[in-house]
Amino acid sequence: MSAGLKRRFWDQIKVMLGRDPSRPIVAEIAPQAQVMHHYKRGNRDLIAEKLHARAHAEHKNTWRNRRWITLILANLLFVISFQFDIQILEGALTASRLIGFHAVDLNSGLQVILAHKHIIVNLVIGMTTMLVFWMLFGGRAFCSWLCPYHLLAEWAEKIHLYLVKKKLVTDQPMDRRLRSVFWLIFALLALLTGYTVYESISPTGILSRALIYGPGLALLWVAALLVFEVFFSRRAWCRYACPIGLTYGVVGILSPLRILYRLEGCFHEGDCRKVCLVPHVLDTVIKGRAVGAEVPIGPDCTRCGLCVDTCPTGSLKFDVKGLSKLM
């Protein structure tokens, strides 16, 4: 790994914790990438090719549709298992059993351990199962492929963007470091109060339990969050508050499954950043920012696939580290 890619790796972790992406210095950019950057500056043939590619690109929403189907079916399986007592997937997203195997959401498990101040064997087994699973499948993939609030927030974002386009509302971004602050606050509250405070307000847990066991007043809190995101700040909970996303981002640091950016075919049209649910992770696609010919997108990426669907030249692809070179 080149010095530039090593620095970018650590920079991506800092970005996940809330820092703004930094511009690479020339010395950190690999020679092959420097040649590509130079070729693209003011190249009229490339600009013409870019316009042609965008005009003829076929947008299929393939990965978005796969993701929505997976998310809906996974949550529906909880409902069916409970309603018909078939014991395939018992419990809820926070803690469950899949055909007898314990599965515990990592953030929920940490909250319980901090609150009770001792280790519960079944809890650790369930957390280990989820740790291995989400380490393989990309950490924050939990957010986009399984979390029911993420799906509602994605739909709310479409309404928000429509209202912004009509100039009825304006987006109010916040400091992304707030998410790390909230993670620490909820951890300290669990430790000091002996109560899993976050679980009582987690829209992920509230929606999961409401789907399985029936609605309750807690859904008003979820509705309030969605209203806030529609009229004030785009995807505010996921981007600036949810500790679950940060927990799974840390898990995904060493995940072999990632989105890989290939500089050579990219025209820097920016369409990918417009659709990205966490656009700060795509800072490397901005003209002149890539430090290598191929750059993996950082651990805060939710692996939602929207950028893969959108890129007109296929410069963003799902990739398994260590396997793609063998294929």
Length of the chain: 327
Nearest CA-CA partner of 281 in 16, 8, 63, 4 = 16
Higher pLDDT, 181 or 6: 181
Burial (CB count <10 Å: 0-12, 13-18, 19+), residue 33: buried
Residue 326 clears pLDDT 60, i.e. is over it: no
- How many whole angstroms separate alpha carbon 79 and alpha carbon 214? 10
Taking only the tens place, the pLDDT of each residue in 298-324 is: 999 999 999 999 998 899 999 998 776
Answering whether pTM is above 0.85, one says: yes
| String of DSSP letters for 120-179 | -HHHHHHHHHHHHHHHHTTSTHHHHHT-HHHHHHHHHHHHHHHHHHTTS-------THHH
Reading the block at residue 239, the tokens are 């981007």
Taking residues 97-118, report their average pLDDT.
Answer: 91
Taking only the tens place, the pLDDT of each residue in 117-170 is: 988 888 999 999 999 999 999 999 999 999 999 999 999 999 999 999 999 999
- Token pair 């002996």: residue: 194
Taking only the tens place, the pLDDT of each residue in 212-253 is: 999 999 999 999 999 999 999 999 999 999 999 999 999 999
Q: Where are the beta strands (DSSP E) in the chain?
A: 89-92, 95-98, 101-104, 257-262, 294-296, 316-320
Taking only the tens place, the pLDDT of each residue in 170-208 is: 999 999 999 999 999 999 999 999 999 999 999 999 999
The average confidence (pLDDT) of the chain is: 90
pLDDT score at 60: 81
pLDDT band of residue 327 (cuts 50, 70, 90) is very low
pLDDT score at 57: 64
